[in-house]
Amino acid sequence: MSLIVKKVAQLITVFIFLYGIYIIVHGHLTPGGGFAGGAILAGAYILQILAFGRDPLHLKKKETGASISESISILTVLILAVVGLFIGTKVFFNNYLPSGKIGELVSAGTIPLYNILIGIEVAAALLTIFLALIIYKEEIE
Amino acid sequence: MNSLIPLFIIIPLATAFVIPIIGKLTSSFAKIITPAILLILCYFSISFLLSSNQESYIVGGWQAINDIPIGIYLVLDGFSKLILCIISILGFLVSIYAITYIKEYTSKNNFYALFCLMVAGMNGVVLSGDIFNLFVFLEISVIASYALVAFGVGKKELEASFKYQVLGNIASFLILFSVALLYWQTKTLNIADISNILKTHDSTAFLTFTQILLITGFGLKAAIIPFHAWLPDAHSSAPSPVSAMLSGVLIKAIGVYVIIRLFFNMFVFTYDIAVTITVLGALSMIIGALLAINQKDIKRLLAYSSISQIGYIIIGFGIGMMILSKGGKQSIAVLAIAGSLFHMINHSVFKGLLFLGAGAVEYRTNTRDMGQLGGLSENMPITSTTTLGASMAISGIPPFNGFFSKLIIIIAAVQANLYVLAALAVIVSIITLVYFLKYQKSVFYGENRNFKKVKEVPFAMSFSMIILAILCLGLSLIAIPSVREIVLDQAVNSLIDMDKYINLVIQH
């Protein structure tokens, strides 16, 4: 890609990334949440890959990283949910953290944590799918 | 025992995501952990089956407000206990078989991860007391199965998986659409709550429309005859352990189970719907068997035979529904439903065994073509004997389990004065015998032309087949009344008595 594309992509990626994080952490207050924000985060990564070359070896490393962070974030969701089996009313998916004030950023107990983890998971999963497709294309060529 | 119910979803789901992480470090982790967790689930599910308590579990602790359930419910009643048992036992045996079988494939970790994901999805479908949650778990298990069908990444496997995905997505769309329609009409998603509301409704055209959509959607998942096109391709192209899981458990857990659960415990079924279900069952029973006769590929033959046997299961339930909706004798309905449940257990055992046997033949000879195979009984005595047992069980020869379950269904049909149906069931049983005799002759007996130096399969594979063959004989004990009381009666009671299921959820 040309220098202009690279520079513009670099500038815009920052804002896309921040916007994705904003959507994720405000998931319990405003529309959107883990899934929508995660998709935006994945968009930022994909823009970077599209603008700056596609070295297959490098991409494979990235794919391993993405798939591992995907598994880890889902596992953490499960662990957070299972902790509910031991705290408070002792049920699966129990919301055991203090719920705070309505409308504040740190409130709603465990829900923002789930949102953040789901955001990571969705971003990693979409990135993995994208990488799998371009690695496949590189291998055919 | 209350807190143990979500473990059926947590354990396989967690394993599915641990495997890709730890599997990168040690390659043998996946093949040890998968049978281990399924053994644990086997223990829990059998102890559930033997105990008589039935309960519901509220995820997240959202208690009901004014007796209206608002949270996600997991319901463990007699019927779901039985299916959980089938899933874990067959899953355990298949995962042991897969240890050796899957060696020739690459990326074994992905296989085990998808396998655990599929089991988690099926357990979720069986336990969920919430119709939308049921849809989500159904998608988890079918998406895992799409990937597993394409696991060989050959041309045929990919084509089969694509076909399966297209038809599966149509089914999912129909199911989601009918869930939305039900939610629009009743303003709730909880199965018990919906059934409470529908009891006071009159049967309208709207409800009938929803019911037909649901029968179509889940009929596609269960491969009842007009909707069967994907099954022979998908089940024959998948790796054999997966075929055993798909044919033995998946089409029952996400197809037949949900149809039966929704129509017995949620809708007030009418006579018309009962007749529709019975006719669909009879059609799949006959056409599946007729299509199976002319197959040259051994796994394709087994796949068509699955369609035919699912027909038997469906007509049993259909007869029960017809009698109940007309207000006939309840004892005949109980007999028909018990026969169906019995056949459901039996079918998962012998069809699992047959697919594992076919997999063993393919593992050693690398072909599934009946024209090339033949005379393998001397080279592979264990595979040959166990497959012979399963073939006799599926064609209904005493003392194998298939005989008793078919007999119960036929007796129920005769007692309900449905003589044509009973005669058809007998005739299809004879056709089944015909194509399994052909299967035996062209694979294990006759002249061995091409494979004189073939050896018996390794221990891990023959172990599962032997256990399943013993189960084929041992399960005929369920025909004895005192054993039947332990295994089947809870399930039958929870299906027939609609209020029991509602009370389980609402008066918690």
Q: Which of B2, B5, B13, B21 to mutate against chain A (most A CBs within 10 Å)? A: B21
Please state the rounded mean pLDDT for residues B248-275.
88
pLDDT at B454: 82
**What is the rounded average pLDDT for all residues in chain A?**
84
B435, B292 Cβ separation under 8 angstroms: yes
pLDDT at B506: 79
B118, B250 Cβ separation under 8 angstroms: yes
Number of other residues whose CB lies within 10 A of the CB of residue B166: 12
- Domain of residue A118 covers 3-140
Q: What pLDDT, in 10s, does the model give residues B268-292?
A: 888 888 999 999 999 999 999 999 9
Query: Alpha-carbon distance B46 to B239, whole Å?
Result: 28
pLDDT at B2: 59
Provide the chain B residues 37-96 that lie in CB contact (below 8 A) with chain A.
Answer: 57-61
pLDDT-derived band at B368 (thresholds 50, 70, 90) equals: confident
Q: For residue B291, give both structure tokens.
A: 């299509």
Q: Half-sphere exposure of residue B142, counting CA atoms within 13 Å on the CB side? A: 29
Q: SS3 of B154, please?
A: coil
**Interface membership of B21 toward A (CB under 8 Å):** yes
For chain A, the domain total comes to: 1
For chain B, the domain total comes to: 1
For B330-364, the DSSP string reads HHHHHHHHHHHHHHHHHHHHHHHHHHHHHHHHHHH
For A48-63, the DSSP string reads HHHHS---HHHHHHHH
Q: Which residue of A has its CA nearest to B58?
A: A91
Answer with the residue of higher pLDDT: A1 or A118.
A118
Q: SS3 of B452, please?
A: coil
Q: How large is the angle between the packed helices B78-101 and B459-474, nearest 10 degrees? A: 150
pLDDT at B508 over 70: no
Asked if A92 lies within 8 A of B24 by C-beta distance, the reply is no
**Interface membership of B17 toward A (CB under 8 Å):** yes
Query: Alpha-carbon distance A73 to B190, whole Å?
Result: 29
Q: How far is CA B411 from the centre of its chain?
A: 24
Q: For residue B498, give both structure tokens.
A: 């609609």
- Position B57: which residue type? Y
**Interface membership of A78 toward B (CB under 8 Å):** yes
In chain B, what percentage of residues exceed pLDDT 90? 43
Angle, CA B451 vertex, CA B301 and CA B148 arms, to 5°: 45
Q: For residue B463, give both structure tokens.
A: 């172990």
Main-chain dihedrals φ then ψ at residue B71, nearest 5 degrees: -90, -170
A52, A6 Cβ separation under 8 angstroms: yes
B351, B248 Cβ separation under 8 angstroms: yes
Q: Which of B17, B62, B117, B130 to mutate against chain A (most A CBs within 10 Å)? A: B17
3-state secondary structure B399-445: CCHHHHHHHHHHHHHHHCCCHHHHHHHHHHHHHHHHHHHHHHHHHCC
* Residue in A67, A78, A95 nearest the CB of B60: A95
Q: What pLDDT, in 10s, does the model give residues A75-98?
A: 898 888 888 888 777 777 777 777
pLDDT at A54 over 70: no
pLDDT at B168: 92
Q: Which residue of B has its CA nearest to A110?
A: B60
Asked if A94 lies within 8 A of B60 by C-beta distance, the reply is yes
Asked if B57 lies within 8 A of A92 by C-beta distance, the reply is yes
pLDDT at B61: 77
Q: SS3 of B193, please?
A: helix
pLDDT at B89 over 90: yes
What ranges in A1-110 are assigned the alpha helix state H? 3-25, 34-51, 56-83
Q: What pLDDT, in 10s, does the model give residues B337-363?
A: 999 999 999 999 999 999 999 999 888
Query: Alpha-carbon distance B480 to B231, whole Å?
Result: 34
What are the Cα distances from residue B250, in Å, to A74, B118, B176, B497? 24, 9, 19, 26
**Interface membership of B14 toward A (CB under 8 Å):** yes
Please state the rounded mean pLDDT for residues B380-408.
90
The sign one gets for the Cα dihedral B8, B9, B12, B14 is: negative
What contacts B494, CB < 8 A, 6 or more positions away? B54, B77, B78, B79, B265, B500, B501
From B450's Cα to the closest Cα of chain A, the distance in A is 37
Between chain A and chain B, the number of residue pairs with CB atoms below 8 A apart is: 45
pLDDT at B1: 44
